[in-house]
Amino acid sequence: MVETGQVIGKGERGEQGEEGEQEAGEARAGSLLSLPSQLVVAVGLAVTVAAVAVHLGMAFLNVSPANTVSKQYSEAIDDYIYPEFERNWKLFAPNPLQQNIAVQVRAEIRTPEGGTATTGWRDLSAQDGAAIRHNPLPSHSQQNQLRRAWDFYLLSHDAQERPNGLRGQLSAQYLRRLAILRLGLKQDGGTVQRIQLRSLTRQLAAPSWSEEKIDTRPIRRELPWWPITDADLPEAKRR
């Protein structure tokens, strides 16, 4: 009796195994696509990849700084981006500097004889440039201090040098103190009484392969004369 039961059990397991293998084979056969179906899937995948590539390319050209490709296809890019994919930001902002700004200072001095004289213009930007040139590790102040002080002043004053906000006085004081530190209190044998700053701005010329026309003539901006007070001097140099 026991042997018969064991034989029957083995037979049932054998039949179940054969049925399982048959079902698995049918499932594998059903998962294989026909040739037309495979072609449809391949074409659909290729179209999707191409569409994603076009979208990413258009979006990149829209937010990147102006370049030869974006200028040539600007109309097509705008038609694709606006209004559905419009953005209010730009890549690599702020844009790289496209102009050279030279900040210069001169002084009115009191001579040892009691008279007054005016010095020549000293190019503070050129001094920073000379310190940076061929220096593998230029300091942060040499690279940015003067430029940021000048930008700070311009952003807080109008064309008539009137402050346009609460930070106007602060920006003028900061720029004045920086110029005094760079210039010093003694010039040409006299003592500095007042200083004046100006800027010479030149747009960078377009590269040889570009058809863009750029006016590279210098633009001057002169600030008013500023008297020197003890508040403008470091504590150790106050008179």
If one counts every other C-beta atom within 10 angstroms of the C-beta of residue 92, the result is 9
What residue ranges do the domains of the chain occupy? 35-95, 99-237
For 144, phi then psi, to 5°, come to -130, -20
Give the separation between CA 220 and CA 197, rounded to whole angstroms.
11
Write out pLDDT tens, residues 40-72: 999 999 999 999 999 999 988 888 888 888 888
**99-110 and 226-227 strand pairing:** unpaired
pTM beyond 0.75:
no
More confident position, 78 or 191: 191
Write out pLDDT tens, residues 95-112: 566 788 999 999 999 999
DSSP-assigned states of every residue in 103-150: EEEEEEEE-TTS-EEEPPPEEHHHHHHHHHTT-SS--HIIIIIHHHHH
Give the separation between CA 206 and CA 201, rounded to whole angstroms.
16
